[in-house]
Amino acid sequence: VPDGKGERPAATDFVDLGFARVDVGRLTRTGDPEVVYASGKAPSATVEIVSVLHTAAPQRAVLITRASDAHVEALRNRWPDAIVDQTTVAVGPMPQTRGRVVIVSGGTSDGHVVAEASMTVAAFGSAPEVIEDVGVAGLHRVLAVRDCLDAADVVVVIAGMEGALPSVIGGLVGTPVVAVPTSVGYGANFSGLSALLGMLNSCAPGVVVCNIDNGFGAGVFAARVARRCVAGRHDWEHP
């Protein structure tokens, strides 16, 4: 019988590998398992951490982000059926999806962020739908997908340079908008700062923002919102 107290973190909620303390209790606490950020970790250490998480919850895919070629190779050696999209990897079965997340990008150069967001949405249990290259310099491209944006549970907008796309979309539809600035651009772009500031200062109400190039964070947030919008959260988190 769940008693409320049972959900609280205990000292045994993590596995101590010496070089890492893997948070196997996060699935219980938050409804989603820990995700492995591969950058800066040795491939072998990454495999070991994934292994602990996979063993702890084999029914739910483990997500690995910012994986280099070496990481991907090491993960595929161990789990040949791992799903790989550019720098994002999933080990284990993807969950069933609820709700719909539309991912829109301003240009084709934003593609790697789109891929990270899309795979994260799927691994966190919602259905991603991708629409690329609808920058504001050709406004009719935005207007052409308006119905699609309107029907989504949440929209993720990914754009570099001046980052104006979330403002335009946020003024067109009432769907919640999660904006992701990208580092695409040069000069006074300052590696994504211009898009970041632009999105934070959006004149359209209800635009929220993630870190530069952070498709993962946007994907997690959007999936959580989208799956709640469909059948209520209690079904999902406490089946």
Cα(117)–Cα(119) distance, integer angstroms: 6
Q: Which is nearer to a copy of itself, 60 or 81 (CB)?
A: 60
Span from 50-58, 72-80, 85-93, 221-229 in contact with a copy of itself (CB under 8 A): 221-229
Token representation of residue 131: 């629409």
Q: Which residues contact 142 (CB under 8 A, 6 or more apart)?
A: 134, 136, 165, 168, 169, 172
Under rule CB under 8 A, which residues in 79-138 are in contact with a copy of itself? Answer: 106-109, 111, 132-138
Under rule CB under 8 A, which residues in 178-207 are in contact with a copy of itself? Answer: 178, 181, 183-207
Residue 70 interacting with a copy of itself (CB under 8 A): no
Token representation of residue 13: 């909620």
Cα(7)–Cα(161) distance, integer angstroms: 44
Span from 50-58, 79-87, 88-96, 225-233 in contact with a copy of itself (CB under 8 A): 225-233
Q: Which is nearer to a copy of itself, 80 or 130 (CB)?
A: 130
Near a copy of itself by CB under 8 A: residue from 55, 96, 211, 235: 211
Nearest partner of 131 among 142, 121, 120, 123, judged by Cα: 142
Q: Which is nearer to a copy of itself, 92 or 107 (CB)?
A: 107
Size of the site for a copy of itself (CB under 8 A): 110
Q: Compute how many other C-beta atoms are within 10 angstroms of the C-beta atom of residue 2.
A: 7
Question: 11 burial class (0-12, 13-18, 19+ CB within 10 angstroms)?
Answer: exposed
Span from 22-30, 51-59, 72-80, 89-97 in contact with a copy of itself (CB under 8 A): 22-30
Q: Which is nearer to a copy of itself, 81 or 179 (CB)?
A: 179
Residue 45 interacting with a copy of itself (CB under 8 A): yes
Q: Which is nearer to a copy of itself, 1 or 80 (CB)?
A: 1
What are the Cα distances from residue 114, in Å, to 27, 62, 204, 205?
Answer: 25, 19, 22, 23
Residue 44 interacting with a copy of itself (CB under 8 A): no
